[in-house]
Structure 1
Amino acid sequence: MKILLTGASSYIGQYIILNLLQNNHKILSTSRSDPKIKNKNHKWISHDLSKKPLKLKDFKPDVIIHLAGSAWLNMSSENYVNSNILTTNNLVKTLEGKKFKKVFYLSSRDIYGEVKKSVLNENTIINDPSIYGYTKLIAEKILLNSFPTIILRLPAIIGLGTHGWINSVTNKIKKNKKIILSNSKFNNFMHASELPKIIMKLSKSKINSDIFLVSCSNILKSYNVVKLLKLKLKSKSKIEIKKNKDLNYIISSVKLNRIYKTISVEKVINIYSNELRSKEKYTN
């Protein structure tokens, strides 16, 4: 299968490329910086999709995976517009008149904004999203109004290169520092290595256009998530529970699980901790 991937240099993009190459797919990837993945079945083009459309020339993709965009915090509104909206507009222009089988857009749960229910699903009402979430939502609509698109609304994606809560916790665990957290129900993440598997499963299905939330298949208390990671990394960190009045929610992936069974929270932690140990062993 021939695949066009935008946003290749992100850590998620690199996980996707490496997995697809293992399954002998041919990939044309694009990003502003080089993902540095050398393989006869992978060609990378340096291109800023927020500036202009991409010229595909003789490459005729079967599947398009649109990952280009920004999830960085504290960026300006203009940067979010450039990263998430202009890149999507230019992808649409890139694909004008082209024949392809499926388009996948890696969106975000942040499009929902403030979630006021204990369970988030595809039908949850959108409520005042951040500028990041809003630009991701606009990008979804641009694609859906242009051609059939499968939208994956992602939770926190972890792997080597991850950031956010799990990265902060991991750094404290590695330094044996105390961790303070609320013991809420938790399934709101996924390992980056699962994304290409989900995409390939959906690419072989009869579905051409739909929206799916992604999350782990089970639920753990956040205390148990951190405890498991602490155990895997052989840390002496102490865990302190604090009360949290904010409403915490879990993500329902029931719809996706009818097609692809997502992995458990424990499995995600196992994969991630094994990666961390391997990296530490290699660098030492």
Structure 2
Amino acid sequence: MYIEYYIIENLLINYIIISCTSILIKENNNVKKKWMGASLGAIYSVAYLYPSLHILFTIPLKIIIIILITLVSFSYKSKKEYTRTLLVFLLANIFISGSTYFVIYFTGIDHMKISFIIICAYLSCELLKYIYKDIKMIKYIKEFTKTITISLLNHSYTCKALLDSGNLLKDPISKSDIIIIKASILKDIIPNINLNYENNFIDAKKADEIINTLDDEISTRVRVIPYRHAGSNKTSMILGLKADYVEIDNRKIGNIVLGITNFNDEDYKAILNPTILSEA
């Protein structure tokens, strides 16, 4: 094995790993810093060719080298940000290096074929970006949704709610917070309630028609809530019902009105204002 091929191979793989890390952490670090970090890693890799330098590959020194590479290759504003960068760099290193050499040994292709090694590293980087993106998306969805239990007239229904700071609706009279829910939820809680209106919003005539179909126990809970579309001066209304309470994170939260609409989304059935959690 020619040493120059070995150095070029490690230089390019290190550059791919550093570039992949930059993409994952969304840092636009300059090319010079990335090449500096890649060069440091390539120089360190040369020591593998000299058995007398085996001391450089003890765990403490490996940790020091990794820290030096990340310090040279990336910028950071705090210890927390640097720790995150270091962990993502280790993840990229393990995944790309491991998957690359797995393919090489699995296929039996000569280790000296640098172009194949670089292609494997690049494809591993692309795969890692998709995997990391999916992980981030799952985390995002988990952080921005809550499982809530709605209690109304001794009936209850559990569903997933989206946390949306854009939902700032309040009942204009009682000032109760409003949770937007799909009309179908109340059909499960109160089967005889008539909510078969086609649009998300209603007018005063339609609201009166719906209220007249309800018995006294339900009608006393009805609220008509003014709603204005973003970017529009037209005010519509949605029908609301005062809930007994809504349970979120094992906390029972009262003074909540359920705003009934027919929004189209299969991932969640309610829209929750995050301030409700902070006020509870």
TM-score normalized with structure 1 length: 0.23
| Larger helix proportion of the pair | 2
TM-score, length basis structure 2: 0.23
Select the structure of larger CA radius of gyration: 2
